[in-house]
Chains A and B, each alone.
Chain A
Amino acid sequence: MYDEDLAIAKNGRISAMSTRTGLLVLILVASAYLLFIFFRGVFMDPELYASRFADKFLAPSLAHPFGTDFTGRDMLFRSIKGLSASLVIGLIASVISSVIGLVFGIASAVVGGKFDKFILWCIDCCMGLPHLVLLILISFMLGRGAFGVTIGVALTHWPELTRVVRAETLQLRAAPYVLASRRMGMSTFRIARTHIVPHVLPVYLVGLVLLFPHAIMHEASITFLGFGLPPESPAIGVILAESMKYIATGKWWLALFPGLMLLATVLLFDLIGENLKRLLNPTAGNE
């Protein structure tokens, strides 16, 4: 631990939480919050965020901590439901995206040759286009809605991870024990499965977690722009888009709380990812 602390101190990022236990606690607390939102939203009674016109435009109070919107929907429950929807979409999209990244990354490095060039070309194509534009295109083409957004996010977030996995694999490929296995006649697939995947897994896991905030933000962004989830659904992007119409009339709570909640969620995921990276790869501080 001494080395790591020193490294962190050198980077000027010293903190009381920089012990292994501290990191673990931090990760657990953050995960608990995110899991709470996830399950609270998934199992929420739709009545809780249904329209009740009698209560429209109530400022935050004890009964409605986040206030109510123009049809009298409780913004706290609506925000939780919306974030939960974002989490579900983010989860599915990140998993798909990261699996694509893992498979492409390893295959690209292990197979090499023309296949490697092709994958690199695909990565360049994907990264050459602005993320959001590509996302909107795919989502729109697939008829928008949850399906369009999920596929859109999944198909646009794999290149970064693919590159990381590929680089890692290239390094491993030259390792003596991999060369030895090859000489001894192990098949490419078996080498990939037994020698490479286990080594790449930590990188993959961190990459997966770090994909989350991106996926969530992008889901919220394209929904905000009107190319994602339909306006009647409780989604954080919809909530923020609607709040814009009323911000000029002083309904500040419509934008503030859901916005902060989204921000917190994204930052927490990032925190989990960064700390996971330090936990799984303690020497990263030396890089």
Chain B
Amino acid sequence: MKKTYSIVMLSICLALVAAMAGCSGRTGGETSGDNADAKDGIAVYVGTTIFSESLDPVKGAMSYGYSFTNNALLKVDPQSEYVGDLATDWSVTDDALVYTFKLRDGVRFSDGSDFTAEDVAFTYNTVKENQANNENVDLTRLQSAEALDDYTVEFTLSEPYSPFLDTAAMLGIVPSDGYDSEAFDRFPIGTGAWKVAQYDADQQIIVEANEDYYEGAPAIPRVAIVYLDGEAALPAARSGDLDISMVTPNFASDRIDGMRLEAFETMDVRNISLPVRAETTMQNADGDEVIVGNDVTSDVNVRKALAIGIDRATIIENAFNGIGKPAFGFTDNLLWADTEIDADAKRDEAKGILEAAGWIDADGDGVREKDGRACAFTVYAASSDNDRYLLAAALSEDAKELGVDIEVKTASWDEFGKLQYSSGIVWGWGQYSPTVLDSLFNSGEFMKGPFSNVVGYDNADADARIEAAYGAGDQADAIENWKEAQRIANADYPYLYLVNIEHCYFVSDALDISAETQIPHPHGHGSPIICNMKDWTLK
């Protein structure tokens, strides 16, 4: 009978484990609530990526533009333009090789030491020397970083590199005297508005206002950034333990007493890579044989028909409760984005293109064929990201209208390494630096980086424009070249852009998160909301 018991118990556990998720979430929330005393601070849930990575800027922390402990030389403003942060002014020589930054006077690190050009040079040189530890800030083209005097720093590049200003906005400055590679993983010292007071791995990070912050100390003295399971966040918010709770669009229709839903503009787009090469096998960077190319998506007519024929509004409605904007390329809140294309839901035109190309549904099963090959391919979504799966499923349903059969599957990021060259993959992109275009379109990147140019795009004109953009002497010139590279590549539709997502959060009615100083959110739903945490106030 023992056997029967164990089976019954196991069944009951499985059947009811779902119901218990709510309870466990509540416990987690309460703990955090106790620690961050409600009166002198707030508790926020902004996802868990902040816990999975080092907080040390030298190792690439917070390079997307919302560092809270350290400042970079530049920062983006709500209009996506670069403005000075630790630098007040900067200039570039005509040959685009020497960048000179004038630094802000009277800034202090949270350990009390003065911020000078020495610290800037130290930070840049340390990152360059340990480039392998930092995959977010690329300083391989930096030749030297020198402090000319206490408040002037000069960077010399080995070759022109126009995205260097992006770099200057990404890399937080650490103090040259107090830098400790190990301690900074959890307790970075910087000039930022916050300093880490307590770090409990995978539980919470408590930050306190930096009284010495050069713009003045934040109004809220303490913020507990708590770690929760995604499913537990909602119950925790509902029980009043959280002041901010990140939420995926699917739950955004929920209502929580005392909280409002805020959806933020982002530059985060979701697209699907469509391999442009005919199917063959090749060796990848690791020397493994992989299937490259796809005989359906390699037909530009299929890619174009999808791009102009799908109804993005319906897809977004179905997958994301209607939260998000249709995307046809990168978003207009990026200075370098080309936003000329916007064909959407042109069903008849799309069908015409497919028919003219020989894709005809002869057997009446709803899927077109050509030379005995069904117009069908597989799209993979990361198994860890339900939103992407939903998006792909919604696309699949919509593409049926066009007679294109998209099978949606899930796989882990590791598995993408083999699948990405021959199947569609749902990607998410969104960063201030235009270097993403290089990894999307540059033929030289194919089979190089882990997720670079997976479609196998190869166009000499686009390559030349990317090259020209890198070498451009001034930003306007660089931007023009980046745009042209996109125009050339997008005419071949190697990526099917679907949606510019919006980051949703439940925010306590008592909290003002200063919507006007929020920057457009970069990729990574969760943390970006803290970009202006220093401006938040409690009502």
Contact = CB atoms under 8 A, between A and B. Distances in A.
Interface stretch (A77-85, A182-190, A213-221, A278-286): A213-221
B11 to A, nearest CB: 4
Interface in A230-259: 230-232, 240, 242-245, 247-249, 254-256, 259
Contacts of A262: 11, 14-15
Contacts of A226: 383
Contacts of B15: 240, 255-256, 259-260, 262-263
Interface of A is mostly: helix
Interface string B220-254: 00000000001100110010000000000011001
B11 A263 contact: yes
Interface in A265-287: 266-267, 270, 274
A245 B11 contact: no
Contact of B383 (A53, A231, A243, A256): A231
Given A70-B250, A248-B25, A248-B235, A217 B18 contact: no
> For A52, A224, A248, A266, which residue has the most chain B Cβ atoms within 10 angstroms?
A248
B386 A245 contact: yes
Contact of B17 (A240, A260, A266): A240
Contact of B14 (A214, A254, A256, A259): A259
A26 to B, nearest CB: 15
Interface residues of A, number: 37
Nearest to A258: B15
Nearest to B392: A232
B52 interface: no
Given A226-B383, A247-B21, A214 B7 contact: yes
Given A224-B14, A259-B16, A248 B7 contact: no
B8 interface: yes
B408 interface: yes
Interface string A198-220: 00000000000010011001001
Contacts of B93: none
B22 interface: yes
A51 B393 contact: yes
Nearest to A247: B18
B7 A270 contact: yes
B397 A51 contact: yes
Interface string B9-51: 0111011111101100100000000000000000000000000
B217 interface: no
Interface string A45-62: 000000111101000000
A32 B420 CA distance: 45
A71 interface: yes
Given A70-B250, A230-B410, A217 B394 contact: no
Chain B: interface size category: 35 or more
Contacts of B490: none
Given A232-B409, A263-B15, A249 B10 contact: no
A244 B23 CA distance: 12
A249 B230 CA distance: 13
B223 to A, nearest CB: 24
B393 A71 contact: yes
B230 A245 contact: yes
Nearest to A251: B18
B3 interface: yes
B313 interface: no
Interface of A: 51-54, 56, 70-71, 210, 213-214, 217, 220-221, 224, 226, 230-232, 240, 242-245, 247-249, 254-256, 259-260, 262-263, 266-267, 270, 274
Interface of B: 3-4, 7-8, 10-12, 14-19, 21-22, 25, 230-231, 234-235, 238, 250-251, 254, 317-319, 383, 386, 389-390, 393-394, 396-397, 408-411
26 contacts: A51-B394, A53-B318, A53-B397, A70-B250, A71-B390, A213-B7, A214-B7, A217-B10, A221-B10, A224-B17, A231-B410, A232-B389, A232-B409, A240-B14, A240-B18, A244-B231, A248-B22, A248-B231, A255-B16, A259-B16, A259-B18, A262-B14, A266-B8, A266-B11, A267-B7, A270-B8
**5 tightest Cβ-Cβ pairs between the two chains A and B:** A259-B15, A53-B318, A255-B18, A244-B18, A263-B11
Given A247-B19, A248-B238, A256-B15, 18 more contacts: A51-B396, A217-B7, A217-B10, A217-B14, A231-B383, A232-B389, A232-B410, A240-B18, A242-B386, A247-B231, A248-B21, A248-B25, A249-B234, A255-B16, A259-B15, A263-B8, A267-B8, A270-B7
